C-alpha cells in the first residue's frame, strides 16, 4: 500500500532538490551580477538581471510544489497548519521549520524587489542581503530534514552549491567590483566561520549514520531510506503512538478470517508496523485465533523485526520480535479500531526479551 503512494515522497524530494538548485543558482547569479561578471561575447549575455529574476520566480514555483508534495505525503500525514507554521510539525520540527522560514524570507525578498521604487534603493539592497539567510536556511533544512542527505549525489549537490556560494561571497567581500567598492575582511572572516561551522555540523550530524534516528530527539525519526540503511539495534526503551487501518479477508472456504493492520509509528527509528491475525469463524459470531504475526521495520524493509504475538487481550498485545543480525526486542501495545476501520494506539518497544513478550501465545483466544 505504501509503495503505491510513494510518488508524493518522490515528488517532495525531487522538487526539494530542484528548488534548492534554483535558490543556489539565483544566489550565484546575484553575486556574479554584483561582481559585474558579464561577458559581452557570451551570447545572449546569459547572466543578466532578467535571468536572475526568472530563476528566482522558478525557485518560488518549485518551493510551492515541494510544500504541496510534502503536505500530501501519506507517510508523514501533515495537517495544512504544520506545513505553513514553523515549529509545530510532529515530524522533524526544527529542520522543517528552517525550510518554512526560508520560504517566507524568500517571499519577502521577492516582494521588496517589487516595492523597490517605493522603499528606495538603499533599503532594497539591505533587505536583499536576506538572500544569504534564505540560502543558508535552505541548505541546513535540506541536509537536516532530507532522506537523501547521505547519498553521494546529494552530498555532491550540497558540496558544489556551498563551494559556489561561499567562494563567490568571499570574492565579493574581499575583491568587490566597482571603483567605489571597498573590501570587507571582517564580513569575509564571519562568512568563513559560518561555512566552517556548517561543514562541521554536516559531518557530525546529517552525514553520519543514524542521524534520522537522533534528529529532533526521535520526533519523526521514522524516516525511510536512512532507517532502511541504519537497521541498528534498539538501544533504549521508547513508546510511540501509531495509526493506520485494518482490512479483513475471508472467511474463506475453511472459515478462516485474516485481519491485516497496516500501521505507521510516529517515533522511534522504525516507522512501519504490520499486525496480522488469523482465526476461524465461530458459530457464535466470534473468531478463534489460530495464528498471528507482528512486524516492525521501515517502508523499504517492513519485516526488519518479526515474531508471533505472545498475548492478545482486547486491544492489548505483546510479542518478542527478532531481526536478522539484530538483538531481540519486546513490543507491547494497545490498539483500538473505530467503526470506519481506522486503527490507533500506542506501542512500547524495549531492547531484549522481557516477561511481557513471552508466553504461550494467544492461539485459542478470541477477537
- Least Å from the CB of residue 147 to ligand HEM: 4
Eight-class DSSP state of 366: B
Distance separating alpha carbons of residues 201 and 158, to the nearest angstrom:
13
Q: Scanning the structure block, which residue is given the C-alpha cell 526488519?
A: 304
Instruction: Return the range that interacts with ligand HEM (CB under 6 A); candidates 95-103, 118-126, 282-290, 306-314.
Output: 95-103
Single residue of 17, 211, 242, 270 touching ligand HEM by CB under 6 A: 17
Single residue of 30, 93, 99, 279 touching ligand HEM by CB under 6 A: 99
Distance separating alpha carbons of residues 259 and 337, to the nearest angstrom:
12
- Least Å from the CB of residue 145 to ligand HEM: 4
282: cell is 465461530
Alpha helices in 231-305 (DSSP H): none
By the rule CB under 6 A, 26 interacts with ligand HEM:
no
Single residue of 26, 55, 102, 289 touching ligand HEM by CB under 6 A: 102
- Least Å from the CB of residue 78 to ligand HEM: 7
Closest CA to 288 of 227, 354, 229, 362: 362
Closest CA to 77 of 202, 241, 216, 293: 241
Decide: 225 and 147 in contact? Cβ < 8 Å: yes
Single residue of 26, 27, 56, 145 touching ligand HEM by CB under 6 A: 145
Cβ-based nearer residue to ligand HEM, 20 or 317? 20
Decide: 243 and 90 in contact? Cβ < 8 Å: no
- Least Å from the CB of residue 112 to ligand HEM: 16
Decide: 195 and 245 in contact? Cβ < 8 Å: no
Q: Is the preceding peptide bond at 188 cis, omega within 30 degrees of 0? A: no
Single residue of 32, 56, 96, 304 touching ligand HEM by CB under 6 A: 96
By the rule CB under 6 A, 141 interacts with ligand HEM:
yes
By the rule CB under 6 A, 148 interacts with ligand HEM:
yes
Total interface residues for ligand HEM by CB under 6 A: 27
Cβ-based nearer residue to ligand HEM, 16 or 269? 16
Distance separating alpha carbons of residues 188 and 29, to the nearest angstrom:
19
Instruction: Return the range that interacts with ligand HEM (CB under 6 A); candidates 137-145, 170-178, 195-203, 341-349.
Output: 137-145
Distance separating alpha carbons of residues 7 and 149, to the nearest angstrom:
19
Decide: 296 and 321 in contact? Cβ < 8 Å: yes
Cβ-based nearer residue to ligand HEM, 63 or 318? 63
Single residue of 66, 227, 301, 357 touching ligand HEM by CB under 6 A: 66
Residues that bind ligand HEM (CB under 6 A): 12-13, 16-17, 19-20, 23, 63, 66-67, 70, 83, 96, 99-100, 102-103, 106, 138, 141-142, 145-149, 154
Amino acid at each position: 500500500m505504501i509503495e503505491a503512494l510513494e510518488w508524493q515522497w518522490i515528488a517532495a524530494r525531487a522538487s526539494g532538490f530542484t528548488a534548492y538548485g534554483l535558490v543556489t543558482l539565483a544566489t550565484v547569479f546575484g553575486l556574479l551580477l554584483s561582481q559585474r561578471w558579464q561577458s559581452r561575447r557570451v551570447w545572449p549575455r546569459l547572466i543578466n538581471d532578467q535571468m536572475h529574476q526568472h530563476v528566482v520566480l522558478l525557485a518560488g514555483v518549485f518551493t510551492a510544489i515541494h510544500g504541496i508534495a510534502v503536505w500530501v505525503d501519506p507517510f508523514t500525514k501533515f495537517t495544512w497548519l504544520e506545513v505553513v507554521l514553523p515549529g509545530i510539525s510532529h515530524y522533524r520540527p526544527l529542520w522543517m521549520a528552517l525550510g518554512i522560514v526560508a520560504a517566507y524570507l524568500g517571499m519577502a525578498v521577492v516582494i521588496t524587489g517589487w516595492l523597490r521604487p517605493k522603499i528606495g534603493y538603499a533599503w532594497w539592497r539591505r533587505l536583499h542581503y536576506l538572500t544569504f539567510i534564505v540560502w543558508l536556511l535552505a541548505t541546513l533544512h535540506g541536509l537536516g530534514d532530507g532522506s537523501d542527505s547521505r547519498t553521494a549525489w546529494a552530498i555532491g549537490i550540497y558540496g558544489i552549491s556551498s563551494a559556489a556560494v561561499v567562494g563567490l561571497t568571499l570574492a565579493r567581500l574581499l575583491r568587490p567590483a566597482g571603483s567605489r567598492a571597498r573590501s570587507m575582511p571582517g564580513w569575509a572572516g564571519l562568512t568563513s566561520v559560518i561555512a566552517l561551522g556548517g561543514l562541521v555540523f554536516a559531518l557530525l550530524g546529517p552525514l553520519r549514520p543514524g542521524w534520522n534516528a537522533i534528529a529532533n530527539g526521535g520526533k519523526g525519526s521514522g524516516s525511510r531510506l536512512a532507517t532502511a540503511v541504519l537497521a541498528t539495534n534498539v538501544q533504549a526503551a521508547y513508546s510511540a503512538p501509531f495509526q493506520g487501518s485494518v482490512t479483513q479477508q475471508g472467511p474463506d472456504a475453511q472459515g478462516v478470517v485474516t485481519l491485516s493492520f497496516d500501521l505507521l509509528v510516529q517515533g522511534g527509528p522504525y516507522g512501519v508496523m504490520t499486525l496480522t491475525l488469523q482465526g476461524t469463524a465461530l458459530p457464535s459470531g466470534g473468531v478463534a485465533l489460530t495464528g498471528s504475526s507482528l512486524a516492525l521495520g521501515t517502508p523499504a524493509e517492513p519485516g526488519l523485526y518479526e515474531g508471533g504475538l505472545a498475548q492478545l487481550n482486547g486491544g492489548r498485545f505483546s510479542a518478542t520480535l527478532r531481526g536478522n543480525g539484530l538483538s531481540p526486542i519486546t513490543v507491547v501495545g494497545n490498539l483500538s479500531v473505530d467503526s470506519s476501520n481506522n486503527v490507533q494506539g500506542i506501542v512500547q518497544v524495549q531492547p531484549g526479551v522481557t516477561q511481557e513478550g513471552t508466553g504461550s501465545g494467544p492461539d485459542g483466544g478470541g477477537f
